[in-house]
Amino acid sequence: MILHSKAGAHGSLTIQGARVLDPGAGVDALLDLKIEKGIITELAQPAGKKRAGKGVAAEGLVLAPAFVDPHVHLRTPGREDEETIASGSAAAASGGYCAILAMPNTSPTVDNAAVLEALVEQAQKEAVIPTGFMAAISRGLAGEELTEMGELAAAGAAAFTDDGQPVPSAGMMRRALQYAGSTGRRLAMHCEEPSLSRRGQMHEGAVSAELGLAGWPAVAESVAVARNIALAAYEEQPLHLMHLSTSESVELVRRALVDGVQVSAEVTPHHLCLTDEAVRSLDSNLKMNPPLGSERDRLALIEALKSGAISCIATDHAPHARQEKDVPFEVAPFGVTGLETAFAALYTHLVEPGLLSLETLLDRMSIGPAHVFDLPVPRIAVGEPANLVLLDLEASWLVREERFRSLSINSWLLGQVLRGEVVLTMAAGRVVFGSDRVVA
Amino acid sequence: MAEIRVFEGEAQTTTTAPKRHLISIEDLNREIVERLLATARNFSRSLEREMKKLPTLRGRTIVNLFYESSTRTSSSFELAAKRLSADVMTVRASGSSVEKGESLRDTTRTLTAFQPDVIVIRHVQIGAPQLIAATTNAHVINAGDGKHQHPTQALLDLYTMQEALGHLAGLQVAIVGDVMHSRVARSLVQALNLVDASAICIGPPALIPRGFEQIGCQVSNDISEVETADVVYVLRMQQERIAAGESFVPSLREYSARWGITPERLRPGQFVMHPGPINRGVEIDARVADSPESLIEAQVRSGLVVRMAVLYDLLTQGPVSLAPTVNMNEVA
C-alpha cells in the first residue's frame, strides 16, 4: 500500500450534464454520471431533468479525472507550522487532486522505516485525500550512505528521492540505481550540480547580470541530468527527473527516450508560466529551486509536455512560514506553494492563450504521474472508483490568502485573477471538496 | 533648472503624490539626472561660503540605516543632512536590535514610528530597500544593496566627470575589474546610458557576468581596450575572489599583472576614478592613485553635494522615482 487517507463515507450521487473529458479513455461527451458507494456505476446520455437522490447540477462544467501530484512538501514531521498532512491534503483536495506524494526532506528525514510508518499512521488519521510518501535515497540526505530501501519499500515508500539535494557523487548514484532496482521502486532525482549552482539565486542571464543576483547557470541542471541518464542507461534502471527547468535538460530526456532509456520527467506550473524576467520584482515568492529559466526554456518545457517527453506536471508545493519569506530576496528560502492554483494557473497561462490543449493539460496532471509512480490511474468509466474533478472553465477568481487551505501563503499568484475553478473533487470514491454543491 | 530655495520654515511638499524613492538608477530619467547635478553644483557654491549650513531641511528627520560597514557613504549622507539642517540619526546593525535577530521589516516599523522623512539604507542583501519602501511611509534612498545598485555613487561619479571634463554626452568610460560583484558598475553603466555616454567593462572572464552587455555596455577581457577611454574607472578587487573554491582569478598577483591600472597602461590626459576603498598595488598602482589625473578625492567631495541634492530633491521637488512603490504587503 502506497496511498493512505482517513476513513470516510463513500459518496453516492449523480453528476448531471457535465462535459465528461477523459483523455485517457478517449471520452469527450455530455453525460450523466452515477456513483454508488464511491464506484462509477453508470455513464448515460443526459436525462435533462434532475435524477432522484443526491446530485450535482453540472451543466456547463467539465468533469475530468482528478489530478495526481507526485511532488509535494507536507513539512511533516518537523515544520507543522508550515504544513501538516491534514492541511496539505485539504489544499490538494481543493485543487482537484485525488492523490499526492510527499517528499522526505523533513525533520527528521524520512530515511528509516520508523519515521515512514509514523507518517503512514498519521495519514490514515488525517489525510483528506490518498497520500503517499517518498523515502530518502541517502541517510539524512547527506549523499553518503544508502537508506535501507528494502525495508522502506515494504513500509510503503512510493519511490526514493533526496529532493532538495542532488546525489553529488556519481558512484553513489550508481549504487542507488542498482539497489533501488531490486525494490521495485524508482529513483526521483533532483538534478543539480552543486559546484555549478553554488550560491545561485536565480537563472544566470541578462536579468541576473542586471540585478546583481548570483547566477545559477542552466548547465547546473543539465550536467546532472546527463550524468543521471547515463547511469540509468548503463544500469538499465528506471529514473524519474524532478522539476526540469531548462531546454538542455529537455533535449537530453528526448534523446534518452529515443535511445530506450526508462526515463520519466516532471515540470512545475511556475516553470511553465514564468521566466526569469519575473524576478525583477524581487518578490521572494519568485524564488525557487531550480530557478525560473529563460523564455526559450519555458517554450521547450511546453513543447516537451505536448510531445510527452515530460509526462507529469508536479507542483513542487513548498510551503514556507510567512516570516521566512518576508525578507529580502537574497535570504529568502527557495520554494512556492502550488496545490491550490496549479490547474487555474496552467489553464489561464497556457490553455487560454492556445499554448497547450486542455486534453494534454488534464492528461499530464493526472494519468501521466499516476503511470510513472504505479498509482491507481484515475479514469471516468463504469466500475472505476470515483477519482474526479469538476471544473468551471468560465469562472474567474482572485487568488488571495483567505482562500488557501494550506497553512502557508507563499504563492507567486497572490493578487492575480485566474480563470478555471475547481468546483468539486472526489478522491477514492469520497467527496473531498465542494460537498456544498451536492444537493438532495 | 531648479534653484536652491533658501527660506525659513518647512520646505513645501506634495502630500498626495505617491511616495518617491531612489532605489535604482532605473528610477531616474535624463531630466531628473540633469536637475540633480545642477542642484549639486549650486550646493557646491554654497559650501564655499564661510557659513556652510543651509536651513533648507530644518525640522526634517533623516535616518541612516547601515547594515554594512561604510565610511564614505554613511559620513557623506550624515554630513549632507547636517549641511541642510535636517535632524539625522545613524543606526548601525552592530549594537542595535538587529543583532538580537529583529527582522528588517520590524526594524523598519520601529524606526518609522519616529516619523522620519527619509530612510537611507545600506544593506548586504539585494531587495532590502524595496522591502523597506513597502513598509515605511518615509522616502527611501538606497545607499547600496548587495551587488545590485548604488545610485548615489553613480550620480556622484557623473557629477565628478562633468566637473573634470566639462560634459557627459559622448564620454567613453572604461570600467575595469570585478564587475560581477560590483553594485557600482551596474548603477554606473545605467547612469552613463542616461546621459548618452558609453561604457566598456573590462575584466577577467569569470568576473564579467554573463549577459552583462545587455544592460547597455561593451564587455572585454582585454585591458588594452582602456586606451580610447576618457575615464578609466577602477573597481575594488577583493582577496576573497581567490579563495579556495572561488577561483575567479588564480591570484591577486596575476590579476594585478593582467588588469591592474599602472601608469604604463594609461595615456596622458586619461582621468582615473575609483569608488574606494582602494587596494594600492592590486587593482590600482599607487602612482596612478596619487597622480593629478586621479579624481578619487574629487569623488568624495562630489558625494557630499550630490547627496545634498538628492535629499533636497526628494523632499522638495518633483518625483525622483517615476514609479510608485509596489506595496509588498499587498503582493506578498
Using the beta-carbon criterion (under 8 Å), do A205 and B183 form an inter-chain contact?
no
Q: Where are the alpha helices (DSSP H) in A236-366?
A: 247-258, 269-273, 295-307, 322-325, 342-346, 358-365
Residue A237 above 80 pLDDT? yes
**In the prediction, which pLDDT does B126 show?**
92
**In the prediction, which pLDDT does B49 show?**
86
**In the prediction, which pLDDT does A239 show?**
98
Mode of pairing for the β-strands spanning A13-22 and A27-36: antiparallel
Average pLDDT, chain A: 97
Residue A127 above 80 pLDDT? yes
3-state secondary structure (DSSP) of residue A393: strand
**In the prediction, which pLDDT does A408 show?**
98
Q: Tell me the per-residue pLDDT of B181-230, one tens digit each, with 9 for 90 and over.
A: 999 999 999 999 999 999 999 999 999 999 999 999 999 999 999 999 99
Residue B322 above 80 pLDDT? no
Of B1, B120, B105, the residue nearest B60 (C-alpha): B120
| B150 is annotated as an active-site residue | yes
Half-sphere exposure of A65 (CA within 13 A, CB side): 31
**In the prediction, which pLDDT does B99 show?**
62
Using the beta-carbon criterion (under 8 Å), do A211 and B103 form an inter-chain contact?
no
d(CA A251, CA B101): 46
d(CA A380, CA A64): 7
d(CA A336, CA A315): 9
**In the prediction, which pLDDT does B96 show?**
66
In chain A, the residue whose alpha carbon lies closest to the alpha carbon of B215 is A210
Using the beta-carbon criterion (under 8 Å), do A328 and B212 form an inter-chain contact?
no
CA distance A168 to chain B (A): 16
Mode of pairing for the β-strands spanning A417-427 and A430-433: antiparallel
Nearest to A283 among B105, B147, B331 (CB): B331
**In the prediction, which pLDDT does B107 show?**
92
Cβ partners under 8 Å of residue A260, min gap 6: none
**In the prediction, which pLDDT does B246 show?**
81
CA distance A141 to chain B (A): 23
Q: Tell me the per-residue pLDDT of B80-95, one tens digit each, with 9 for 90 and over.
A: 999 999 999 999 877 6
Q: Tell me the per-residue pLDDT of B20-67, one tens digit each, with 9 for 90 and over.
A: 899 999 999 999 999 999 999 999 998 888 888 899 999 999 999 999
Q: Tell me the per-residue pLDDT of A160-194, one tens digit each, with 9 for 90 and over.
A: 999 999 999 999 999 999 999 999 999 999 999 99
CA distance A333 to chain B (A): 14
**In the prediction, which pLDDT does B46 show?**
87
**In the prediction, which pLDDT does B48 show?**
87
Chain A residues near residue B191 by CB distance under 8 angstroms:
none
* Cα pseudo-dihedral A11, A17, A23, A26, rounded to 10: 110
**Neighbouring C-beta atoms of residue B5, cutoff 10 Å:** 12
**In the prediction, which pLDDT does B239 show?**
80
In chain A, the residue whose alpha carbon lies closest to the alpha carbon of B145 is A212
* Residue B131 contacts A where some CB pair is shorter than 8 Å: yes
**In the prediction, which pLDDT does B9 show?**
36
Chain A residues near residue B241 by CB distance under 8 angstroms:
none
Q: Tell me the per-residue pLDDT of B233-252, one tens digit each, with 9 for 90 and over.
A: 999 998 877 777 788 999 99
Q: Tell me the per-residue pLDDT of A66-106, one tens digit each, with 9 for 90 and over.
A: 999 999 999 999 999 999 999 999 999 999 999 999 999 99
CA distance A246 to chain B (A): 17
Q: Cell numbers at residue A202, please?
A: 536565480
**In the prediction, which pLDDT does B252 show?**
92
Percent of residues in chain A assigned helix, strand, coil, to nearest 5: 35, 25, 45
d(CA A420, CA A269): 15
- What are the residue ranges spanned by the domains of chain A? 13-63+384-437, 66-372
Chain A residues near residue B183 by CB distance under 8 angstroms:
212
| B14 is annotated as an active-site residue | no
Distances (CA, A) of A93 to A87, A339, A387, A427: 10, 9, 11, 8
Domain B153-295 architecture: 3-Layer(aba) Sandwich (3.40)
N-terminal to C-terminal alpha carbon distance within chain B: 40
A168: exposed, middle or buried (C-beta count within 10 Å: 0-12, 13-18, 19+)? Answer: middle
**In the prediction, which pLDDT does B101 show?**
67
Of B170, B161, B207, the residue nearest B188 (C-alpha): B161
Please answer whether residues B278 and B289 qualify as being in contact, where contact means their C-beta atoms are separated by less than 8 angstroms.
yes
Nearest to B148 among A204, A212, A215 (CB): A212
- What does R_g of chain B's alpha carbons equal in angstroms? 20
Q: What are phi and psi of A57, to 5 degrees?
A: -80, 115
Amino acid letter, residue A22: D
CA distance B319 to chain A (A): 20
Comparing A228-237, A416-425, B190-199, B317-326, the range with the smallest average pLDDT is B317-326
Q: Does 3.20.20.140 match the CATH number of domain A66-372?
A: yes
Transcribe A286-316 into DSSP letters.
Answer: G--SSPP--HHHHHHHHHHHHHTSS-EE---
3-state secondary structure (DSSP) of residue B30: helix
Half-sphere exposure of A146 (CA within 13 A, CB side): 17
Domains B25-150+300-327 and B153-295 share a fold: yes
Catalytic residue selected from B15, B16, B49, B100:
B100
B148-176 mean pLDDT: 98
Between A and B, how many residue pairs show a Cβ–Cβ distance under 8 A?
A: 84
Query: What percent of chain B stands above pLDDT 90?
Result: 78
Q: Which element (helix H / strand E) includes A189?
A: strand A187-189
Residue B326 above 70 pLDDT? no
Distances (CA, A) of A38 to A6, A12, A324, A384, B254: 15, 6, 41, 9, 74
d(CA A175, CA A183): 13
Using the beta-carbon criterion (under 8 Å), do B186 and A414 form an inter-chain contact?
no
Using the beta-carbon criterion (under 8 Å), do A282 and B130 form an inter-chain contact?
yes
Cell 560590483 belongs to residue: B182
Nearest to A285 among B103, B183, B332 (CB): B332
| B100 is annotated as an active-site residue | yes
**In the prediction, which pLDDT does B100 show?**
66
Q: Cell numbers at residue B219, please?
A: 564587455
d(CA A355, CA A347): 10
d(CA A319, CA A325): 10
Chain B residues near residue A284 by CB distance under 8 angstroms:
127, 332
Cell 525560473 belongs to residue: A292
In this prediction the pTM is 0.92
**In the prediction, which pLDDT does B11 show?**
39
- Would you place residue B318 in the very low, low, confident or very high pLDDT band (cuts 50, 70, 90)? low
**In the prediction, which pLDDT does A326 show?**
93
**In the prediction, which pLDDT does B18 show?**
63
**In the prediction, which pLDDT does B328 show?**
40
List B66's β-bridge partners, or say none: B92, B122
- Please name the fold of domain A13-63+384-437: Urease, subunit C; domain 1 (2.30.40)
* Candidates B132, B140, B147, partner chain A, best to mutate (most A CBs within 10 A): B147
A46: exposed, middle or buried (C-beta count within 10 Å: 0-12, 13-18, 19+)? Answer: middle
B270-279 mean pLDDT: 96
Q: Cell numbers at residue A66, please?
A: 482528478
Chain B residues near residue A209 by CB distance under 8 angstroms:
209-212, 214-215
Residue B14 above 60 pLDDT? no
B window 56-115, beta carbon within 8 A of A: 103-105
Q: Is the Cα dihedral A231, A236, A238, A244 positive or negative?
A: positive
d(CA A382, CA A54): 19
d(CA B146, CA A417): 34
A199-222 mean pLDDT: 97
3-state secondary structure (DSSP) of residue A228: helix
3-state secondary structure (DSSP) of residue B115: coil
Residue B15 above 90 pLDDT? no
Q: Does 3.40.50.1370 match the CATH number of domain B25-150+300-327?
A: yes
Catalytic residue selected from A162, A316, A326, A436:
A316
* Residue B126 contacts A where some CB pair is shorter than 8 Å: yes
A223-248 mean pLDDT: 98
A10-21 mean pLDDT: 96
Q: Tell me the per-residue pLDDT of A335-373, one tens digit each, with 9 for 90 and over.
A: 999 999 999 999 999 999 999 999 999 999 999 999 999
Residue A195 above 50 pLDDT? yes
* Candidates B26, B68, B109, B125, partner chain A, best to mutate (most A CBs within 10 A): B125
Q: Which ipTM value was assigned to this complex?
A: 0.86
In whole angstroms, what separates CA A398 from the centre of its chain? 22
**Neighbouring C-beta atoms of residue B31, cutoff 10 Å:** 10
Mode of pairing for the β-strands spanning A67-72 and B118-123: unpaired
Chain A residues near residue B145 by CB distance under 8 angstroms:
328
A43-52 mean pLDDT: 88
Catalytic residue selected from B73, B135, B152, B160:
B73
CA distance B5 to chain A (A): 36
In whole angstroms, what separates CA B204 from the centre of its chain? 24
Of B303, B315, B275, B273, the residue nearest B22 (C-alpha): B315
